[in-house]
Amino acid sequence: MKHVFLMLLFISFSFGAKAQVNVRDSLVSAWMIGVKLSGYVPAGDLADRYENSYGLGLEVGKRTRSNWIFGVDGTYFFGNNVKNLYDIFDEIITSQGSFIGLNGELAGVEFFQRGFYTGVHVGKVFPIIGPNPNSGLMVKLGAGYMQNWIYMRMPNVQVPQIEGEYRKGYDRMHSGFALRQQVNYMNSSSKKTVNFIVGFEFIEGFTKSDRGYNYDTNMPDLGQKLDLYLGLHFTWFLPIYSKNEQKFFYE
């Protein structure tokens, strides 16, 4: 991802050296390719399983001359803190909370939150504030698909009771339809070098278990979940203008 960011930054400066776009005093259309970093606080049923998490995302969209934005996006969620682990694994761990490996040794198992969201979005920029008519307050709405699960890692040891098909009885994988809302500020630089979006993000996932059965409870898991992400995000984007939107010049 670091290399992708550096490549987009290089392309942005390369375009800026060859062409000047008149975004300072008029509305222009452009394709937008963005890299997003975000942080989330869980709510709803998601807060029963996980603590705070982070997100890394990509967005591709089209901004029209009337300041509408249409596009697709995806975010990968990752976190280091999973709640209520003892409740889930109580029957297969020792009284000290350890797993027993294949050879009878104590096994160190690490647990993480993982997940993703992918969908489509539509947004509108209101040029109330900012350096030009292409910047301002932005409201964005989206819909898509979301999934989250407990990722288990066992470095250098085998723990058969949570590997293979057994893992599926404990990983709490849920997925389903999701909605996303954003309230942002978008800055479209007049010189094409400082283009970013910063704001608040809300994601609501209407999910169900992908496994259908939990080994720790010995019961089917058929209930509907409401998994909520409340977060802040920063997106750096590269605008790509058509030839009709550019004014070429020579130094």
| pLDDT tier at 171, thresholds 50, 70, 90 | very high
pTM (2 d.p.): 0.84
What H or E segment, with its residue span, contains residue 1?
Answer: none
**Two structure tokens written together for 202:** 């809300």
- The mean pLDDT of the chain is 86
Question: 246 pLDDT exceeds 70?
Answer: no
| pLDDT for position 101 | 82
pLDDT in tens, 75-88: 999 999 999 988 89
Question: 1 pLDDT exceeds 70?
Answer: no
CA distances from 211 to 81, 86, 170, 200 (A): 22, 20, 9, 32
| pLDDT for position 25 | 59
Q: What is the CATH number of domain 2-17+26-238?
A: 2.40.160
Beta partners for 150? 113
Beta partners for 226? 206
The structural domains of the chain, with segments of one domain joined by +, span 2-17+26-238
- Which region holds residue 66: left if phi is over 0, alpha if psi is between -120 and 50, else beta? alpha
| pLDDT tier at 28, thresholds 50, 70, 90 | confident
Q: What angle do CA 37, 119, 1 make, to 5 degrees?
A: 35
**Two structure tokens written together for 177:** 């339809």
**Two structure tokens written together for 51:** 């603590």
| pLDDT for position 13 | 44
CB within 8 Å of 214: residues ≥ 6 apart: 169, 170, 172, 221
End-to-end Cα distance, the chain: 34
pLDDT in tens, 130-147: 888 889 999 999 999 999
Is residue 175 within 8 A of residue 168, CB to CB? The reply is no
| pLDDT tier at 98, thresholds 50, 70, 90 | confident
Half-sphere exposure of 87 (CA within 13 A, CB side): 8
Question: 249 pLDDT exceeds 70?
Answer: no
- Dist. CA 67–CA 149, nearest whole Å: 37
Q: What is the DSSP string of 107-132?
A: E--EEEEEEEEEEEEEEEEETTSSSS
Pairing state of beta strands 136-153 and 30-44?
A: unpaired
- Dist. CA 95–CA 79, nearest whole Å: 26
**Two structure tokens written together for 206:** 């209407």
pLDDT, mean of residues 55-72: 95
Is residue 147 within 8 A of residue 178, CB to CB? The reply is no
Of residues 71, 197, 201, 199, the one with CA closest to residue 134: 197
